[in-house]
Amino acid sequence: GTPANAAPGKLGFSPIPVSEADRILVPEGYQVQTLIPWGEPITGTYPSYDLSNSGQDQGMQIGQHHDGMHFFPIEGESPYLGSSQDGLLVLNHEYIEPRFLHTAAVGLTLNAGDVPMNADGTRDADQVLKEINAHGISIVRIRQQETGTWEVVRDSHNRRITGLTPMEFTGPVRGSEFLKTRYSPEGTGTRGTLNNCAHGVTPWNTYLFCEENWARYFRNGDPEASLPREQTRYGVSREMSRYGWERAQGQGDDYVRFDVSRLGNSPQEDYRNEVNGFGWVVEVDPFNPNDTPKKRTALGRFAHEGVVFQPAVPGQPVVCYSGDDARFEYIYKYVSADSYDPATASGELLNRGRLYVARFHEDGGGEWLPLVFGEGPLTPENGFSSQADVLVNTRTAADVLGATKMDRPEWGAIDPETGAVYFTLTNNTRRTEDQVDAANPRAENTWGHIIRWREGGDGPTATQFEWDVFVLAGPEMDSETLKGEPLEETNIFACPDGLWFDGHRRLWIQTDISESVMNQGEHAQFGNNQMLAADPDTGEIRRFLTGPIGQEITGVVSTPDQRTLFINVQHPGATTSAEAFAAGSVVSRWPDHSPNLYPRSATVVITKIDGGVIGT
Ligand code: FEO
Ligand code: CA
Ligand code: CA
Ligand code: CA
């Protein structure tokens, strides 16, 4: 039944229990459809999905490991801002699981994260091409049929952007020494984007994709003492890179570039600077299939989770926020130098502005510290030579400023009515008792929390703010809601990651308990990863959805009428070993449930059976 204290219409559904089932579960009155699983053909010659698809085929199909996502309505004869039956779905593909990407034989011999290698330590070139093409972004037109079902439209907007797509740099780092490579001697361009986690949507209706855990896609074999801080502060590998792409034979610079060792006498002769071309927020116009993606360097270089904008106000600067998702990293804010004009606004607003980093005070106040060359300690005496240097080394600059080290900042969301900014801090088991502070209040933070703040009296551009903790996630004995109550069976959750406000101010919370601990020990009580909805005023939280085995729930957006909700299921089956598949034990086969197919990431479409607004 519906608790008496529910705000009418805000959380109108009955919460569902935790689950370990290999399926999507939603409240009574709702239905789900899966759409665009990995491998679905969307462009080019539309090659049908098959485990034997080539690297080239993959470049015309939906990528693996769906993550951040937005629905761009295509305006028609609709009473809404845009159509709620027709639009471009744009989504990120964060990373890959090689064992499920290649032929069936590969999957049965490998575990999660393993890479198929040749006997001589090289990598098969077409497997590498398939892996690179399974990363990046998909842009796909979808339309709701008369039956209510959503379908892919074979349309000229459809596009794959991958780890090979040519991109341009803009902003203060463009043309600097940091970006000069054999591919781009002038330091103005690069190929591809990698590990795109969450996303952003600009006030001028373009899509931003954010580069998160890109550092380990590169390796550097130079002597340890000679590695620059642009690499060491971010964790570039000294041995084989994450997938060993630099080991693909005979493929030239496209793959060699993942080895950033010094080979020549100048940056233009080798790829020592290739890794400086990653760690950025990248913009693309989904409505222009020929648009060259732009890496917006003014927003800083770190493990960008996503970007979230304050509502744009004509005559005022544009303001957005981005979290750096690693243990003890920071939350940043960007304020454009130029004012927003709806008639002329463009990505230029992301090329000139001030980047700030957050310091949370113990008393509930906070301040934004500017990352501006020549201001405060960011001077030559402290090792900074230019604004490009500050931005390429954003983490180091934030260290020098004394920003607050957070428990892995993931997604942000902004209350459309109050402008309050919410951020998930997913967990940080390495925080010790002596490292606890008011904003990161638990040592060995296994369960994560959600923090929020209101900007000072000047509004979004203020340099002061006031913050509080919205919820401490975790088991009943170690959790606390806004009302000071523990979480209980209708809403216990851990490791918040995805976060989104719908148009009625419901705060949707998605969880990402790591596959290494999911369904084990104390984590078992949370079941499979899930999605909940919260009332930002009362702090009430209810469980809305549970996902299949081994996945995380991510990516969330609705149509303008809020009658269709899209979410992503990423890495189903990540907890299943090769032996379990071979033995036919409890495994994920979601969403196909075929003994001949591995689990696949996919988008899930949620509607109310009565056609109503989701969440009411
Ligand atoms: Fe890719 Fe921070 O999750
Ligand atoms: Ca995430
Ligand atoms: Ca994850
Ligand atoms: Ca995560």
CA of 305 to the centre of ligand 4 (A): 9
Q: Does the pLDDT of residue 234 top 60, yes or no?
A: yes
How far CA 187 is from CA of 31, 99, 291, 385, 425, in Å, comes to: 50, 36, 20, 17, 35
CA of 198 to the centre of ligand 4 (A): 10
- How are beta strands 317-323 and 331-339 bridged, if at all? antiparallel
The mean-pLDDT minimum among 74-88, 130-144, 154-168, 573-587 falls in: 74-88
Helix, strand or coil for residue 147?
coil
Q: How far is the CA of 583 from the centre of ligand 2 (A)?
A: 32
Question: What tens digit of pLDDT does each residue of 329-384 get?
Answer: 999 999 999 999 999 999 999 999 999 999 999 999 999 999 999 999 999 999 99
Atom number, ligand 1, closest to the C-alpha of residue 67: 1
pLDDT at residue 409 above 60? yes
Q: How many other CB atoms are there within 10 angstroms of residue 253's CB atom?
A: 13
Cβ of residue 212 lying under 6 Å from some atom of ligand 1:
yes
Atom of ligand 1 nearest to the CA of 197: 1
| Whether residue 7 has pLDDT greater than 70 | no
Ligand 1, atom 3, lies closest to the CA of 197
Cis peptide before 185 (omega within 30 of 0): no
Residue pair 298/392 in contact (Cβ under 8 Å)? The answer is no
CB 378 within 8 A of CB 398: no
Percent of the chain with pLDDT over 90: 91
Ligand 1 pocket check for 259: Cβ under 6 Å: no
Q: Is the CB of 324 under 6 A from ligand 1?
A: no
Distance between Cα 174 and ligand 3 center (Å): 31
Q: Is 203 left (phi over 0), alpha (psi -120 to 50) or beta?
A: alpha
Q: Is 254 close to ligand 1, i.e. is its CB under 6 Å away?
A: no
pLDDT tier at 492, thresholds 50, 70, 90: very high
Q: Which ligand is nearest to the CA of 514?
A: 3
Residue list, CB under 5 A from ion ligand 3: 512
Cα 301 to averaged position of ligand 4 atoms, centre (Å): 19
* Percent over 70 (pLDDT), the chain: 97
- Are the beta carbons of 611 and 563 closer than 8 angstroms? yes
How close is the Cα of 424 to the center of ligand 2, in Å? 10
What was the pLDDT predicted at 111? 85
pLDDT tens-digit profile of 153-200? 999 999 999 999 999 999 999 999 999 999 999 999 999 999 999 999
Q: What are phi and psi of 45, to 5 degrees?
A: -95, 10
pLDDT of residue 75: 79
Closest CA to 36 of 138, 175, 167: 138
Who contacts 147 (Cβ-Cβ below 8 Å, separation ≥6)? none
**Tokens linked to 262:** 């010094």
Distance CA 591, CA 599 (A): 6
For atom 1 of ligand 1, the residue with the nearest CA is 197
Q: Say if residue 104's pLDDT is above 90.
A: no
Q: Is the pLDDT higher at 78 or at 424? A: 424
What pLDDT is stored for residue 80 in this prediction? 42
CA of 303, nearest ligand number: 1
Residue 77 pLDDT level (bands cut at 50, 70, 90): low
pLDDT of 40 above 90? yes
Look at residue 112 in the predicted model and tell me its pLDDT: 85
Burial class of residue 288 in the structure, from the number of CB atoms within 10 Å of its CB (0-12 exposed, 13-18 middle, 19+ buried): exposed
**Mean confidence (pLDDT) of the chain:** 95
For residue 364, which amino acid is it? G
Residue environment code for 356-388, b if the CB has 16+ CB neighbours within 10 A, otherwise e: bbbbbbeeeebbbbbbebeeeebeeeeebebbb
pLDDT > 80? residue 533? yes
Question: What b/e sequence results for 502-537 when a residue is b if at least 16 CB atoms lie within 10 Å of its CB, and e otherwise?
Answer: beebbbbbbbbbebebbbeeebeebbbbbbbbbbbe
What is the tens place of the pLDDT at every residue in 256-310?
A: 999 999 999 999 999 999 999 999 999 999 999 999 999 999 999 999 999 999 9
Whole-number CA gyration radius for the chain: 23
Rounded to whole angstroms, the maximal C-alpha distance in the chain is: 73
Q: Does the ipTM surpass 0.85?
A: yes
Whether the per-residue pLDDT at 471 is higher than 50: the answer is: yes
Verify whether ligand 1 is closer than 6 Å to residue 325 (CB atom): yes
Phi-psi region of 65 (alpha: psi -120 to 50; beta: other; left: phi over 0): left
Where are the alpha helices (H) located in 206-301, listed in sequence order?
Answer: 229-232, 253-256
With cut-offs at 50, 70 and 90, classify the pLDDT of residue 6: very low
Tell me which of 154-158, 238-242, 253-257, 407-411 is least confident.
Answer: 253-257
CB of 246 closer than 6 A to ligand 1?
Answer: no
Band of pLDDT at residue 2, cut at 50, 70 and 90: very low
Q: What is the arithmetic mean of pLDDT over 195-211?
A: 98
- Residue 426 alpha carbon, nearest atom of ligand 1: 2
Q: How confident is the model at residue 311 (pLDDT cuts 50, 70, 90)?
A: very high
pTM: 0.97
The backbone torsions φ and ψ at residue 232, rounded to the nearest 5 degrees and listed phi first, read -65, -35
DSSP letters along 424-441, please? EE--BTT--GGG-BTTB-
Cα(466) to centroid of ligand 3, in Å?
A: 30
197 lines ligand 1 (CB under 6 A): yes
Q: Which ligand is nearest to the CA of 499?
A: 2
Identify the pLDDT of residue 23: 98
- Phi, psi dihedrals of residue 591, rounded to the nearest 5°: -95, -5
Q: Which ligand is nearest to the CA of 325?
A: 1
pLDDT greater than 50 at residue 79: no
Helix (H, G, I), strand (E, B) or coil at 531: strand
